[in-house]
Chains A and B, each alone.
Chain A
Amino acid sequence: MKKKIIVKLDKCIGCRSCEIACAREHSPSRSGERITADTKKALSRISIRTGLANPTDAPEMRPKKGKPKTEIVTGKAYPIRCRHCDDPKCVEACMSGALIKNEEGTVIHDPDKCVGCWMCIMACPYGAIKRDLDNKIIVKCDLCPQRDTPACVEACKTGAIVCILGERLERENESIAEGSG
């Protein structure tokens, strides 16, 4: 079924529930136990990243050494995820044919074809593609083809991440097309 995820930015409080749900959905066993046992195998395809409250404060807020384990929420939270663009730059850049835009409009990734060249990462202007360094491939949002409501949408308690489905999406697309035509 055709789906589209929309983010209502002012509702996102940066709780990161979506990240956990996504990682769990994409873990081998799709169970919470597995991801705590083997976090490396369960990567979230959506990331809650934050802007900075005040850029000049930033250096003091960061640990002296290394990358903070959890991000310090200093500014507005933004869910960063694949938008399944109409004209996807990642697909254009994919030299192995691992990324394609299917007939439903979803940009899907075939891990068997991926060689970890990071060309898609170079091309995605949203930084929505992640590296799975254990397997030297990328991971990205697949809109949860096995479920009607994507896991991140289901997990979002504030209604910041919503999903438009099937016919309604087509109606909206049509009205956009009519409007612009």
Chain B
Amino acid sequence: MRASQRGLVEMNLDAQYKYVIIGNSAAGIGCVEGIRKVDKEGSIAIISDEKMHTYSRCLTSYYIAGVVDDEKILFRPKDYYAKKKVTPILGRKVVKIFPNDNHVVLDDGARIGYSSLMIATGASPVIYDIPGNNKQGVFVLRTYEDARRISEAAVPGKRAVVMGGGLVGLKAADALHAKGVEVWVIVTSPQIMSQTMDREGAEILRKQLEENGIKVMTETNVEEIIGNKKVEAVRLSTGQTLTCDIVIFAKGVRPNIGLAKDAGIETDYGILVDTHMKTNIPNIYAAGDVAEAKDFITGERYIHAIWPNAVEQGCIAGKNMAGCDVEYAGGIAMNSVDLFGLASIAIGFTRPRGKDHGYEIIGRSIPEKKFYRKIVLKDGVIVGAICIGEVEAAGVFAGLIKRRANVSKIKDILLREDFDYAKVLGEGLIEDTSDFATA
């Protein structure tokens, strides 16, 4: 035990838990599950400033579209906390962390002690400083409350401008469109999904959006939101004015590092963690969108703010908090989006600058089928993959990336529409004996 533990006895704490988790989303729940794999009984408290039972932020756009409701947006059942023996402290905000005394203070003054602490405070949407950004009808899409408010505003016949062509922006656009709202997507970059998708893939997705009635304008900015109190229009960098009732900022998120920073925990853009998801303070961990953790491909620290990474990081942190020694191999950017029935998955490093950097790019496109596949290789090893249309092989590519398998001899096979795990085994690319047995 740390020497500072002594302080716990002297201090008058309102409650003391073995594990305290700040944050009730993917990384926080991943952490609960990691802990419970190892420690079935140790007391856990999960603190969130939102009142909701744990729900999926990725489902907020589905909530707007009416595909999921108040029940289905929960990604763990209602009895989850009870079953996992977790004390939920919901609707309460942690205002300060005292690393030397191993406790946190909540907005109602309560002091909660911990033996180890997980910071899974996530990220917040960025609202850019443009005139009119505080008008009624301007939204961000992150929380359940955001989704509920947008859902109320999204009445058929209304018009919306979505700023940002990333995953959140496109999913919001898709959802608004499903509600009968006319939608423009305004993108600063020359293409949509500029973080994950290459030019050619983005063009296919843009076409898919436009064929289904969503208008996309690239290389354009919203410069002003016009209206009295309410949004009435936006003025674009092209000089054009678009009449609208709803504006959604979907131009990225910023990690919520304030608490950690104030507590003297090492931060950069996010909270810096080692390969055990530990911060510079031995009994404080961080995971998810707030944590700058190892990147699988580069080995450098980076934030891949995506659901699977958050769950995995949370789980690894949880196991380590409970006394195991588990290392994080590193995160890989990956995302999946289905737009009007066209599936697209992008994994890893998909946009290298060409052969001069040692990357090899192979690709295949069948426009009439909306099939597109691109593989990025370095020294015979896959570092990135894009699958549009046929996506069933995407996970196999992700697996090959993680195994760092050399695929030099089957490069052409990778681009076949029927590429699958059998081809990997058939070519003896990797050894897979799990669940296989010889007669």
Contact = CB atoms under 8 A, between A and B. Distances in A.
Given A51-B425, A55-B410, A123 B338 contact: no
| Interface size of A as a range | 35 or more
Contacts of A83: 434-435
Given A51-B422, A122-B347, A126-B421, A92 B399 contact: no
Contact of A55 (B59, B336, B398, B412): B412
Contact of A8 (B312, B343, B426, B438): B438
A52 B395 contact: no
A34 interface: no
Interface in A10-69: 10-11, 47, 49-52, 55, 58, 67
Nearest to B345: A122
B426 A58 contact: no
A121 interface: yes
Interface in B416-436: 416-418, 420-423, 425-427, 434-436
A157 interface: no
Interface in B40-61: 56, 58-59
Interface stretch (B71-79, B203-211, B351-359): B71-79
A50 B437 contact: no
Interface in A94-119: 94-97, 112-113, 115-119
B427 A122 contact: no
Contact of B336 (A49, A96, A122, A130): A122
B31 interface: no
Given A80-B421, A92-B312, A126-B421, A8 B427 contact: no
Contacts of A116: 338
A174 B398 CA distance: 31
Contacts of B336: 117-119, 121-122
Contacts of A52: 413, 423, 426-427
B435 A127 contact: no
In which size bucket is the chain B interface?
35 or more
B345 to A, nearest CB: 5
B421 A127 contact: yes
Given A58-B416, A116-B338, A121-B392, A96 B434 contact: no
A80 B422 contact: yes
Nearest to B402: A125
Interface string A63-95: 000010001000111101001000001001111
Interface of A: 4-11, 47, 49-52, 55, 58, 67, 71, 75-78, 80, 83, 89, 92-97, 112-113, 115-131, 133, 136, 159
Interface of B: 26, 30, 56, 58-59, 62, 67-68, 72, 74-77, 307-308, 311-312, 315, 334-338, 341, 343, 345, 347, 391-396, 398-400, 402-403, 410, 412-413, 416-418, 420-423, 425-427, 434-439
Given A55-B413, A96-B75, 15 more contacts: A6-B435, A7-B436, A9-B437, A10-B438, A49-B422, A58-B416, A80-B421, A89-B398, A92-B315, A95-B26, A95-B307, A97-B75, A97-B77, A123-B308, A136-B338
